[in-house]
Structure 1
Amino acid sequence: MLRNGLEPWHLIVVALVLIMLFGSKKLPDAARGLGKSMRILKSEARALKADDAAATATATAPADITDVKPASAPEAHPHTS
Structure 2
Amino acid sequence: MNSLSIYFGMIGGPQIIIIVVVILLLFGGRKIPELMKGIGGGLKEFKKAAKEEPEENLEEKK
| Separation of aligned partners in 2, 1:25 and 1:7 | 26
Instruction: List alignment gaps of at least 5 residues for structure 2.
Output: 1-6
Q: Which stretches of structure 1, 4 residues or longer, exceed 4 Å deviation after superposition?
A: none
Partner of residue 33 from structure 1, selected from 5, 24, 38: 38
Deviation at 1:45, TM superposition (A): 1.4
Distance 2:52 2:12 in 1: 37
Pick the structure with more helix per residue: 2
**C-alpha distance in structure 1 between counterparts of 2:59 and 2:17, whole Å:** 46
Q: Which residue of 2 is the match for residue 19 of structure 1? A: 24
Between 1 and 2, higher relative CO (CA 8 Å, sep ≥ 6) is seen in 2
Tell me the TM-score normalized by structure 2: 0.77
Give the counterpart letter for 1:46 in structure 2: K
TM-score by length of 1: 0.61
Aligned residue pairs, count = 55
Q: Please, what is the CA RMSD of the aligned residues?
A: 1.4
Gaps in structure 1 of 5+ consecutive residues: 59-81
Bigger Rg over Cα: 1
Give identity over the alignment, percent: 20
Q: CA deviation at 1:5?
A: 1.2
Q: What do the CA deviations read for 1:6-56 (whole angstroms, capped 9, x no partner)? A: 111100000000001110000111000110011001101110111113333
